[in-house]
Amino acid sequence: MRKQIGMGAAFVATAALLAACSSDPEPAETAETTSAEPTVSTSEAPEAIDASGQTLTIWTDAEREGAIQTVADTFEAETGATVEIVQKNFEDLRNDFIAQVPTGEGPDITVGAHDWAGALVEAGVVNTVDLGETADDFEQVAIDAFTYDGQLYGLPYATEAIALIQNADLVGDTAPTTWDEMIAMSEEAGFEDRPFILFTNGTSGDGYSAYPLQTSFGAPVFVQDESGSYTTEVGMGGEAGQAFAQFLYDNGSAGTGYFSDTIDYDTSNQLFADGESPFILQGPWMPFFDDDSMNLVVSPMVSAGGETAAPFVGVQGFYVSSQSENTLLANQFLTNYMATEDAQRALYEADPRLPALTALAEEFSADPITAGFVASAAQGVPMPSIPQMGDVWDFWNAAEIQLITGTADDPAGTWDSMVSELEAAIG
């Protein structure tokens, strides 16, 4: 289960916001008080329809079941519909959805991650979602994430992305804005050997963590079209990709030694927690956010190549089955009930991920830790949801490991070969 962001103080503040900003909810349960679950206001929704006799089935995991049930209770009361909520393991949702929707045994709606979209669309099991003007209320990266071939296939509710985390007790509380500035801050504080922790997958490679640096050179993994949808055109070739490859090589074992294949996930976290490095690129799920023992600053990743350092953004949301017999009702439930601030606030309280609804993202950004991750996600790009993304990782990670270990002494040629092999693999 993921870690809570913003630490304990943020959740006391969140409980207060529930009382102050919602017209009728009770405060959520906190360490100090225990209250009834909030009811969800739908004052912004249009006049409710009469859906008596209709049933919506929703699949979700345990973390979000209670919040969805709260919204469902209001929906039932106002429309006459019946909502059946089925709890499943999150790891099983995608495969079960693909397997059961064609048989008529699947749900009308399921919780899911945005990068399932390609597989769901290719399997023919998911329908488009019409948010109308409501789409403007969400962070653009969240809408882009659920957009596939120019069509919106889900209602987003939460985002998450890695960001630059610094130990302010070691390098001060001013966030750097460039790679050179970050390295200078580290060296001035006496961290010449380990100024920054990036690769956390050891010898397996970590293209995910390195992606903000790669995009800062203008080398996206795949090209996006005007709608925000990913095409199958590999975008990390050419001079931009070669420049990034040279950067990895120059900062690997053949150069500065800043990048290494000897640090795995747990080791990287421990090194940072022990004050052995002042900067790390990681997410809000890190254990050092569990209490206030470290003086931390979170900000968007610095640029090394001159362009915006854009991390991958993961987005959570809701899909509608292509075989639903109540498609209009399902869209009404999502657009007029699940898309409200109260509903999405309840989801945040149940499973604290960064809100995709812009108003809530701004609201919770009163906490500086949360604000840093929100800013990072805002300049990020969705993890590609096209099926071809599954072919990328092995080629990509292997090339990066060769570059940082110095086993490939021709950075441009190594990168070009990786791109050519990837293009051949995806046809």
pLDDT digits (tens, 9 = 90+) for 276-295: 999 999 998 888 887 778 99
Strand-strand pairing, 163-167 and 354-355 = unpaired
Q: What is the pLDDT of residue 427?
A: 85
> In 3D, which of 308, 332, 249, 328 has the Cα closest to residue 42?
332
Above pLDDT 70, what percent of the chain? 88
Measured CA to CA, the distance from residue 85 to residue 110 in angstroms comes to 10
Q: What is the pLDDT of residue 49?
A: 79
Given CA atoms 381, 387, 393, 396 in this order, what sign does their dihedral have? Answer: negative
Q: How confident is the model at residue 346 (pLDDT cuts 50, 70, 90)?
A: very high
pLDDT digits (tens, 9 = 90+) for 232-273: 999 999 999 999 999 999 999 999 999 988 888 888 989 999
Q: Return the CATH fold of 7-160+314-382.
A: D-Maltodextrin-Binding Protein; domain 2 (3.40.190)
Among 29-33, 144-148, 194-198, name the one with the lowest average pLDDT: 29-33
Measured CA to CA, the distance from residue 134 to residue 21 in angstroms comes to 20
**DSSP strands (E only) in 226-270:** 230-234
Spell out the residues 6+ positions from residue 84 whose beta carbon is closer than 8 angstroms to its own.
Answer: 55, 56, 57, 58
Q: How confident is the model at residue 228 (pLDDT cuts 50, 70, 90)?
A: confident
Distance in Å from the first CA to the final CA of the chain: 37
> 317-353 burial string, b = 16+ CB within 10 Å, else e?
bbbbbbbbebbebbbbbbbbbbbbbbbbbbbbbbbbb
pLDDT for residue 13 is more than 70: no
Bridge partners (DSSP) of residue 234 are: 222
- The CATH number of 163-310+386-426, from 3.40.190.10, 3.30.450.40, 3.40.50.880, 3.40.50.150, is 3.40.190.10
- What average pLDDT score do residues 317-338 get? 96
Q: How confident is the model at residue 226 (pLDDT cuts 50, 70, 90)?
A: confident
- What average pLDDT score do residues 56-60 get? 98
Task: Give, in order, the Cα–Cα distances in Å from 41 to each of 18, 23, 75, 232, 284.
Answer: 12, 7, 10, 42, 29
Bridge partners (DSSP) of residue 178 are: 303
Bridge partners (DSSP) of residue 406 are: none
**DSSP strands (E only) in 42-162:** 55-60, 82-87, 109-113, 126-127, 147-148, 151-152, 155-160
pLDDT digits (tens, 9 = 90+) for 130-184: 999 999 999 999 999 999 999 999 999 999 999 999 999 999 999 999 999 999 9
Give me the chain's average pLDDT, please: 88
> In 3D, which of 389, 384, 421, 383 has the Cα closest to residue 402?
421
Q: How confident is the model at residue 200 (pLDDT cuts 50, 70, 90)?
A: low
Residue 394: its H or E element: helix 392-405
Q: How confident is the model at residue 48 (pLDDT cuts 50, 70, 90)?
A: low
Among 120-129, 282-291, 342-351, 356-365, name the one with the lowest average pLDDT: 282-291
pLDDT for residue 11 is more than 90: no
Measured CA to CA, the distance from residue 421 to residue 180 in angstroms comes to 33
Measured CA to CA, the distance from residue 394 to residue 78 in angstroms comes to 51
Are 154 and 112 within 8 A, CB to CB?
yes
Q: How confident is the model at residue 3 (pLDDT cuts 50, 70, 90)?
A: very low
Measured CA to CA, the distance from residue 335 to residue 329 in angstroms comes to 10
Domains 7-160+314-382 and 163-310+386-426 share a fold: yes
Are 125 and 102 within 8 A, CB to CB?
yes
Single pTM value for the model: 0.85
Q: What is the pLDDT of residue 45?
A: 44
The SS3 call for residue 82 is: strand
> In 3D, which of 102, 19, 46, 416 has the Cα closest to residue 236?
416
Over its C-alpha atoms, the chain yields an Rg (Å, rounded) of 23
How is the chain split into domains, by residue range? 7-160+314-382, 163-310+386-426
Q: What is the pLDDT of residue 47?
A: 57
Bridge partners (DSSP) of residue 165 are: 280, 298
